[in-house]
Structure 1
Amino acid sequence: MDLMLNLNLPPASHTIDHGQKVLSIGSCFTEHIGNALKDLKFQVLQNPNGILFDPASVCHSLVSYMQGKQYGPDDLFYYNELWQSWNHHSRFSGMDQTAVLEKINASQTEASAFLVDADWLIITLGSSFSYRLTADAPHQQGVAPFSPPTGEGRGGAAVANCHRAPGQWFQKHLLQITETVELLDNTLHQLFYRNRKVRIIFTISPVRHIRDGVVENNRSKARLVEAVHHLVNKFDRLHYFPSYELVIDVLRDYRFYAEDMVHPNYLATDFVLEKFLQTFMSHETNELVGELQKLNIARKHKAQHPGTEAHQRFLKAYLEKCRTLQHRYPNVSFAEELRYFAGS
């Protein structure tokens, strides 16, 4: 008896291995996947601007990396006793303007160098809703010019994060499918010109944006799905991974969501990660992933009596396992694990 819908995911035509660089950008869901890949020793740089939700913000950020943009005082605004950037998450905000700019520009420099040499770019889109500054916003915002395509909702500069500023400062715009396609298409052409080897994985975040409304959230997600598939069918270097469908159509149960009934919980994200690894990793890479998962569990083990012979045997056994893996996979560093299990 089948108690859940099966979504058949064939292996990808190209796979990710530990020798490749992966840049992930987009919604908070991409950080779950990115953190998991980091724990599994993949070379990952994630969200250099912080969490981004809509295609306009994602494209603006990617273009800024390609252009090597450096931010100055005019690119910041002062609100709630903090210097902030409309293009960055609040984790970059701070009371010292110089420190904020140093942090932003260090991230920009790292992202610029990483993207031009990246093997994979994972883009997780969360919402079709874009926010633009209105005439009610203070005049000296210091936002770098960013003109959305001509059409419905054309207005002021698009912002990636509203920083809890007054609602009247922004115009909320539901991007049309054609707008999203144009934004992404232009960005990809620029990227492919600078990086001729990069492959791109698109995925749609299963996080529900209920504040927009249930119906509006579904309209928003539908537009993202349609726009992304238009591009995937156009370029052979683009792939689609169904994170959204795995949670919404396969799991489809609130027990796989956190208490807010909006964010997928650990079980759900772990399920999606498992499917991702099966789809985009080779058999050999997944073998190593299995060993790394065991090591991570062992490192999290808290011994009640660390001085016992039993615990020392435990450490010694995993130390030998690390040495064996280091010999077998010389391009992957097990230095942290070796130090931990050696007791140093």
Structure 2
Amino acid sequence: MDFMSPIHIPKLPEPVAYGNKLLLIGSCFTEHIGNALADYKFNVLQNPHGILFEPASVRHSLISYIENKRYTEADLFYLNEIWSSWHHHSRFSHINKERALDAMNQSVEQAHHFLKDCDWVVITLGSAFSYILSSDNPEKERYDLHVANCHRAPGQWFYKKLLGIEEIIAAMDNTYHRLRTFNPKIKILFTVSPVRHLRDGVTENNRSKARLIEVVHHMVDKFPGVYYFPAYELVIDVLRDYRFYDIDLAHPNYQATEFVLEKFTEACIDDASKPIMKEVRQVSIARRHKAFQPDTHAHQQFLKAHYEKAKGLMEKYPFLNLKEEMDYFSGMN
């Protein structure tokens, strides 16, 4: 008897491998994948503008990396005693506008150079709803601007729009051409976030996700080097049980995200990398170990053994960067 709907996930024709550079951008589910890959010591850069949910903000951010955009005071606004950008997550906001701009511009410059030699861009779209500055916002010249984050501004400053399929296709189509012109070797892996945006309403959330899925498959069918990983379907159609959700009934819980990551590894990571991932995981788990009695001989032996293991892995696989772990095991951190 089957207790799960079967799903066939085709393997990528050129799977992700150690040595590849991956830029991940999009919703909070992007960071589940990105953090896991970072723990396995893949070369990743994730969300240089912070978490983004809708296609217009994803497009703006990627184009800004291509152009190495320099943000200025004109791109900021002052609210609740802090300086923020409508194009950035609140982690870039600061009470000092120069500090805010420095963080934004350093992040964009890093992304520009990373993207220039990048192998993969992983785009996770979360919602087709966009919040747009209305004529009621204090800065009239920014009317009709799609915002990446509302920064707790008054609700009347925005109007909410469910983006049309053709509108999203146009944004993603343009982004694809700009990316491939900037870096012809780039491959793109789309996912749709399984996080349910219940504040939009259940029906509205389903309409939103349906539009994103339709657009993504349009891109996959139309362009070479564009692929889809079904994170959304794995949670919604394969697991399809509230025990795989957090207490808010919207975010997949630990078991669900681990299940998705297992399927991601099977379908998207090359076979030569998988045994290395297992070895790296052992070192990462040891790095997070908290000793109750750190001065004991047993713990010192534990640190020494894992220092040698990390050192041996770096010698065997020069593309791995385990310096942080080695510093920890040697007592330097």
Q: What's the TM-score, normalizing by structure 2?
A: 0.95
Q: Which residue of 2 aligns with 1:335?
A: 323
In structure 2, distance between residues paired with 1:58 and 1:237: 19
Tell me which of 196, 202, 205 is aligned to 2:193: 205
Tell me which of 175, 179, 197 is aligned to 1:191: 179
Q: Which residue of 2 aligns with 1:20?
A: 20
Q: Does 1:273 align with 2:261?
A: yes
1:26–1:58 Cα contact (<8 Å) kept: yes
CA 1:270 to 1:234, structure 2 compared with 1: closer, same or farther past 3 Å? same
Matches within 5 A, 1:15-54: 15-54=15-54
Tell me which of 162, 177, 180 is aligned to 2:165: 177
Q: Which residue of 1 aligns with 2:10?
A: 10
Q: Does 1:80 align with 2:68?
A: no
Q: Which residue of 2 aligns with 1:289?
A: 277
Matches within 5 A, 1:205-284: 205-284=193-272
Q: Which residue of 1 aligns with 2:294?
A: 306
Query: Structure 1 stretches (4+) deviating beyond 6 angstroms?
Result: none
How far residue 239 of structure 1 moved from its aligned partner, in angstroms, is 0.6
The aligned amino acid for 1:202 is F
In structure 2, distance between residues paired with 1:136 and 1:60: 23
In structure 2, distance between residues paired with 1:326 and 1:226: 43
Q: Does 1:68 align with 2:68?
A: yes
Tell me which of 129, 133, 157 is aligned to 2:145: 157
In structure 2, distance between residues paired with 1:301 and 1:269: 22
1:54–1:129 Cα contact (<8 Å) kept: yes
Matches within 5 A, 1:108-119: 108-119=108-119
How far residue 310 of structure 1 moved from its aligned partner, in angstroms, is 3.1
Question: Which blocks of at least 5 consecutive residues in structure 1 are unaligned?
Answer: 144-154
In structure 2, distance between residues paired with 1:2 and 1:223: 30
1:77–1:140 Cα contact (<8 Å) kept: no
Q: Deviations over 1:262-318 (max 9, x none)?
A: 111111111111111111111120111111111111222222233334333333332
The aligned amino acid for 2:238 is V
CA 1:140 to 1:113, structure 2 compared with 1: closer, same or farther past 3 Å? farther
3-state SS of 1:5 partner? coil
In structure 2, distance between residues paired with 1:98 and 1:307: 45
In structure 1, distance between residues paired with 2:235 and 2:248: 15
Tell me which of 155, 180, 184 is aligned to 1:167: 155
- Between the two proteins, the alignment pairs up a number of residues equal to 332
Q: What's the TM-score, normalizing by structure 1?
A: 0.92
How far residue 118 of structure 1 moved from its aligned partner, in angstroms, is 0.8
The aligned amino acid for 1:36 is A
In structure 1, distance between residues paired with 2:298 and 2:120: 43
3-state SS of 1:284 partner? coil
Q: Deviations over 1:6-47 (max 9, x none)?
A: 322232101112211110100011011111111111111111
How far residue 140 of structure 1 moved from its aligned partner, in angstroms, is 5.5
Q: Which stretch shows the higher mean deviation, 302-311 or 166-175? A: 302-311
In structure 2, distance between residues paired with 1:191 and 1:138: 34
In structure 1, distance between residues paired with 2:279 and 2:153: 47
